[in-house]
Homo-oligomer: A and B are copies of this chain.
Amino acid sequence: MLTERFKKGDPRALARTITLLEAGGEFPEDLQLLPRKATVIGITGSPGSGKSTLTDQIIQAYREQGLKVAVIAVDPSSPFTGGAILGDRIRMGRHALDEGVFIRSLASRGALGGVSSKTLQVLSALEAFGFDVILIETVGVGQSEVDIASIADHTVLVLTPNQGDAVQAFKAGVMEIADVFVVNKSDLPGADRVVRELHATLTLGAMLDWMPPAVKTSAQKGQGIPELLDALRKHREHLGAEGLKQRRLNRLKFELRILLEDWAHRKLKDAESQLPEVLSGKRSLQALFKGLI
């Protein structure tokens, strides 16, 4: 039934499913088995780098190609709201009435900003719904940047001409997650310097079989977007069928790891009240552990 409504593209069926998943409900088995075709693009970068405006432009560009686009915005600063945050609707307002566009804000997992299993289930539901392109925008703090590279087919790291942006990325060890660099706000002075810095660094690590290009954009002015889409297309060609399959297997492994770890942490929490019995020698830790698994 839900499957049929998904196949027909009923947006209320999608919204209901996502609300269910956010509330911790089961992911309906038949939905999970629907065929999927989406390209998943991760967009990450420091706060203020203009990711949301860039995302808006990417939506627009793919819509002009007739593709259906979904956006998941993972926002570590917001508690789990179970719904869209008004801000996104405002920023991406011009797509609000477009049935080919779906935008959803989700909370991240814990303080480190990692991607949660709920986020991955919502992503999976969007794929099952038949979107062609799914953008995942994460605020570039802590774990979320590294996680996104485990999930996306293509990862875009957004920098700005702001002195030290690239340096920060190096320090945080996130340079290597980028398949494509974007130097956004490139109408500001310093954009070419950042591009040069990136090239210099990437040439140093010249063992790479894919040299991530650095694309200058001005999302605000709508500049550089075709070049970005071109860079993404080239990366897809570089991956090939085998490379893409490998990325998707990595994502499934990542998702399974989170499911197992979440399960382990729930079990640990459940068992905590029984530890005093172990301490007093009434029960062994092994016996407690075996009772959990």
Contact = CB atoms under 8 A, between A and B. Distances in A.
Nearest to A31: B284
A32 B252 contact: no
19 contacts: A26-B286, A27-B284, A29-B284, A32-B284, A32-B285, A33-B281, A34-B281, A124-B285, A249-B276, A252-B278, A252-B279, A253-B272, A256-B275, A256-B288, A256-B289, A259-B285, A259-B289, A260-B265, A261-B261
B286 A27 contact: yes
A293 B293 CA distance: 7
B289 A275 contact: no
A287 interface: yes
A144 B276 CA distance: 25
A255 interface: yes
Interface in A96-141: 124
Interface of A: 26-27, 29, 32-35, 124, 245, 248-249, 252-253, 255-257, 259-261, 263-265, 267-268, 271-272, 275-276, 278-279, 281, 283-289, 292-293
What is the total number of copies of this protein in its complex? 2
A160 B170 CA distance: 32
Contacts of A263: 264, 293
Nearest to A286: B27
B33 A284 contact: yes
9 nearest CB pairs, A to B:
A32-B284, A260-B264, A264-B264, A252-B275, A259-B289, A249-B275, A257-B268, A252-B278, A27-B286
A256 to B, nearest CB: 6
Contacts of A27: 284, 286
A35 B281 contact: yes
B275 A253 contact: yes
A275 to B, nearest CB: 5
Contacts of A245: 279
A252 B265 CA distance: 14
Contacts of A275: 249, 252-253, 256
Given A32-B286, A249-B275, A264-B264, 17 more contacts: A27-B286, A32-B284, A32-B287, A33-B284, A245-B279, A248-B279, A249-B279, A255-B285, A256-B268, A256-B289, A259-B289, A260-B264, A260-B265, A260-B268, A260-B289, A261-B264, A293-B293
